[in-house]
Structure 1
Amino acid sequence: MRALLVLGATGNAGRMAVQVAKRFGAAHVVAAGRDPDRLAEVAALGADVTCTLDELDRAADVDVVLDYVWGEPTARALVDVLTARRDRGVPLTWIEIGSVAGPAAAIPSAALRSARVQLVGSGIGSVPGRDFLAELPQLAAAVADGAFDVRARAVPLADVEQAWTAAADSTDRIVLVP
């Protein structure tokens, strides 16, 4: 893979996607998000370029987009990226992973007709299980080796209420442990 855009790179999953992409061969990673302070942190994790959601013309010539956002921001982003591409005939694969900004994105049909873009999902069934299994050992080894900056905090299940209340003040992923 040559170039990748992570839309929603300031969230925990997006931060991890930047790190995994760089570790496993992406030549150029663009991290996009809303919070400039958190974008600076993502740059330190390996993003080659960071930009806000209003600056996506800087990410126009990527090959793949990992979209953790969806909703209205994705509708705008898709149009911005497609119209800013130097060559709209170059394939772009847009992978929908999350929907933190909303479950629907009103994408203008003209945007889809005017560029070579493929929208794909990332849920169960969109990728064969054997493909997951083929990649898992290498990914698990990298995690075990401490190759990634993982912001996770284990919390006993009995403390779920306290963890839920405190989560608003933290950027860590809460992992409930029985």
Structure 2
Amino acid sequence: MHAAVVHSFDAPPRYGTIDTPQPRGPHEVLVDIVAAGLHPRVRSAADGTHYTCDGTLPMVPGIDGVGRTPEGELLYFVAPDGVPGTMAEYAVVDRRRAVPLPADSDPYAVAAAMNPGMSSWVALRRRVPLPPGASVLVLGATGNAGRLAVRIAKHLGAAHVVAAGRDPERLAVLGDTGGADVTVRLTGGEDDDAGLADAAADVDVVVDYLWGRPTEQALRAVLTARADRARPLAWIQIGSVAGPDITLPSAYLRAANVQLVGSGQGSVGVSDILAELPELAEQFTAGTLSADPLQVPLAEVEKAWTAPVPPEQRIVLTPGG
């Protein structure tokens, strides 16, 4: 079958051929791939930097997708372990890791949105369940996952959402129609401290896609500005777009009631992640949550890997062209 194939962690995948995988157990079925999303998680696996990467090459990237069974059923699925990824003509699906989709679903929107949406959805349901009426800060709100996190926090009961990010145009959209009550532009300068202290001093939950220096600044700004430092604050670390490490003064953990937790593969069990997929998929198929997919033929994967993409869109690779 045709597939995107990673031959080196230093180069984009190339369009090539590999053996078609075969189902191995009673729960598995071979599907025709309709669409597979090009997510940051997929990129990090393909360049060898994701913490789950074992260094084995060649590999087919792709961790999820939408496929069609021989009977015509449309499924969103998370790829099982030990099989080629989803950026191919066919993939093996474990039915226990799949969600049936209505026949009139937009498979490209689902493929584009489920992975970025899953990050905050699972975090706010499984790691730190969101109290009704909570106040939430989304740190890194101008990325695809952050933009969805703003809407998901509102959908899950947040009364007040602060969106913080670098891109002023995307922040403006979040403030106008994207669900954010307040926006804070991050510039990397000391002005960020004042903006975060003013807007997010008394939030209950932080959804953090940045880490690195922005998180160091945000922790200092938020914790020192809290009116009641004994008020619980849950800081959920999801992504590290701005850097893998931070310097964390020990006094922060003594001087405020802050809980630092991570959300991702390992900190959330596979069964817990899978349990959340049906309801999340329902929100996208119903239009409660939305995405803007950019369809690219699988044969153009090498070009697509480095192509600039409008901020509101996400590339989905389509084996059918």
The question of whether the paired residues in 2 share the 8 Å contact of 1:6 and 1:30 is answered with: yes
Instruction: Select which of 258, 264, 283 maps to 1:123.
Output: 264
Alignment of 1:87-106 (within 5 A): 87-106=228-247
What are the ranges of 5 or more consecutive residues in structure 2 without an aligned counterpart? Answer: 1-130, 187-191
2:80 match: none
Equivalent-residue separation in structure 1 for 2:151 and 2:305 (angstroms): 27
> Judging changes above 3 Å, is the alpha-carbon distance between structure 1 residues 135 and 165 closer, same or farther for their aligned structure 2 residues?
closer
1:166 match: 307
Match for 2:166: what amino acid? Answer: R
Moved over 4 A (4+): none
TM-score norm. by structure 1 comes to 0.92
Match for 2:185: what amino acid? Answer: T
Q: How far did residue 140 of structure 1 move? A: 1.2
Q: How far did residue 67 of structure 1 move? A: 0.3
2:196 match: 56
Equivalent-residue separation in structure 2 for 1:134 and 1:164 (angstroms): 31
Deviations 1:75-122 (A, max 9, x none): 111111111111110111101000010110112111222101111111
**Structural RMSD (CA):** 1.5
Match for 2:222: what amino acid? Answer: V
Q: How far did residue 130 of structure 1 move? A: 4.1
**Number of residues paired by the alignment?**
177
1:36 match: 168
Equivalent-residue separation in structure 2 for 1:80 and 1:3 (angstroms): 16
2:15 match: none
Larger Rg: 2
Higher helix share: 1
What are the ranges of 5 or more consecutive residues in structure 1 without an aligned counterpart? Answer: none
TM-score norm. by structure 2 comes to 0.53
The question of whether the paired residues in 1 share the 8 Å contact of 2:295 and 2:315 is answered with: yes
Match for 1:85: what amino acid? Answer: R
Identical positions, percent: 63
Instruction: Select which of 29, 46, 50 maps to 2:179.
Output: 46
The question of whether the paired residues in 2 share the 8 Å contact of 1:12 and 1:151 is answered with: no
The question of whether the paired residues in 2 share the 8 Å contact of 1:89 and 1:116 is answered with: yes
